[in-house]
Structure 1
Amino acid sequence: MFGTDTVDRVLVTYLNDHYAAAVVGSELARRLASQQRGSVRADEIAALAEELAEDLRTLRRVMADLEVPVRTYKATAAWAAEKVGRLKLNGRVLAPSPSSPVVELEGIAAQVTAKIGMWRSMRSRARRDGRLDPDEMDELLARAERQRETALRLHDHFADAAFA
C-alpha cells in the first residue's frame, strides 16, 4: 500500500490540478459575464461567475486547511492557457462568434463536472480527516451540481441562438 508521503503527494497533485482547472473555469465565466452585460441572461451569468470565483477561494482555503501548497506554476499556466485560448480563429476579426459563449459554457460545465468529482473525493476524505467538515463538503457538492445545471441551461440557450 502507499505510504503517507505518497498519499500526500497524490493529494497535492490532485488538488493543484483541480485548482488550475478552477482558475480556467473562473476566468471563462468572468469573461462571459463581461461580454454578456446587458443581455437577457446577464444576471444569471454574473451570479455563476461570482460563485465560481468564490469556489476558487474556497478551494484555496481547503488546500490550506489540508496543508497542501498551491503550485503557482500550474495556476499560472492554466490562466495563461485560458488567455491564449481567446486567440482562436473564429472567422471574425472584431466581434466574437455566436458560438463563443457556447464553447465557453462547455468549458465551464466540464470544469464544474470535474469539481463535483473533487468535492465527492473530499467528502470521502472528510470522513477520516478532521481538518475537513463533511457538511461543508456536502454543501459544496450540492452547489457544484446546481452550477452544472445552470451552465448547461445557459449552454442550451446560447446554442439555440447560435445554431438556429
Structure 2
Amino acid sequence: MRELDRTLLDSYLGDHLAGATGGSARFGRMADAYADTPLGPALARIAREVTDEREWLRDTAYRLGVRPSVVKRLGLAVVERAGRLKPNGRLADQSPLTAVLEMDLMRGAVIAKRGLWETLHIWADDLGLDAGHLQRLLDQADEQIATLTRLGQVAREQAFAADGEPGRPEEAR
C-alpha cells in the first residue's frame, strides 16, 4: 500500500497556497483593468472562481494541518509586484504587450494549479477529500485554460495590429 509523504505534501500545498494568493490578486487587478474591454467579463468570472478556489485551498490546507510559509507568501507578493514594474518602452501608459504577457502568465499559473488538483484528486481518499469536488476543480481549470487561451488570441490580434484599431486592451484602464 502506498504511503503519503506529509512533509512533501505540506510544502507542496504551502507553495500552491502562496501562488493562489498572488494569482487571485493578479486576476482581480486584471478583471478591473480590462473591465470595459472584450476581455473583461471572462476575466471577472475567472477572478471570482480563483478567489473561491484559493479559499477552498486555504481551508483544506488548514484542515490538513498545513501552515503556509509567511516567507513564501511575502516573496511571491514581492515578485508579483515587481513584475508590474517591468520596462515596456512607455513611461505613462500601458504597453500593448501587457495583456498578451498577462494572459500567457496567468494561463501558465492555471496549468500549474491544475496539477495541484490532479495531485489532490489522486490522494483524495488518503486525505479525506471529496473526489467529486476535485473533479469539478479540474474541469473548471480546463475551462479557465481554454478561456485564457482564447483571450490570449484576442490580446495578440489587438496588440500586434499595425492599424491601431480602437478598443485595444491597453486602452482599458
TM-score normalized by the length of structure 2: 0.86
- Of 55, 58, 61, 2:56 maps to 58
Partners of 2:27 and 2:46 within 8 A in 1:
yes
Unaligned runs of 5+ in 1: none
How many residues are treated as equivalent by the alignment?
Answer: 160
Match of 2:156 in 1: 159
Q: Distance in 2 between matches of 1:79 and 1:134?
A: 31
> Counterpart amino acid of 1:43?
P
Partners of 1:27 and 1:82 within 8 A in 2:
no
Cα deviation code 1:33-90 (max 9, x no counterpart): 1211212231111111111111111111111221111212211211121011100000
Match of 1:140 in 2: 137
- Root-mean-square deviation (CA, aligned residues, Å) is 1.6
Unaligned runs of 5+ in 2: 162-173
Q: Distance in 2 between matches of 1:28 and 1:163?
A: 23
Whether 1:33 and 2:31 are equivalent positions in the alignment is: yes
Give the Å deviation of 1:3.
8.0
Partners of 1:23 and 1:75 within 8 A in 2:
yes
Partners of 2:88 and 2:95 within 8 A in 1:
yes
> Counterpart amino acid of 1:57?
E
Q: Distance in 1 between matches of 2:151 and 2:90?
A: 23
Partners of 1:90 and 1:97 within 8 A in 2:
yes
3-state SS of 1:136 partner = helix
Query: After the TM superposition, which segments of 4 or more aligned residues of structure 1 sit over 4 Å from their partners?
Result: none
Match of 2:45 in 1: 47
Cα deviation code 1:105-138 (max 9, x no counterpart): 11110110011111010001113332x1111111
3-state SS of 1:128 partner = helix
Partners of 1:33 and 1:49 within 8 A in 2:
yes
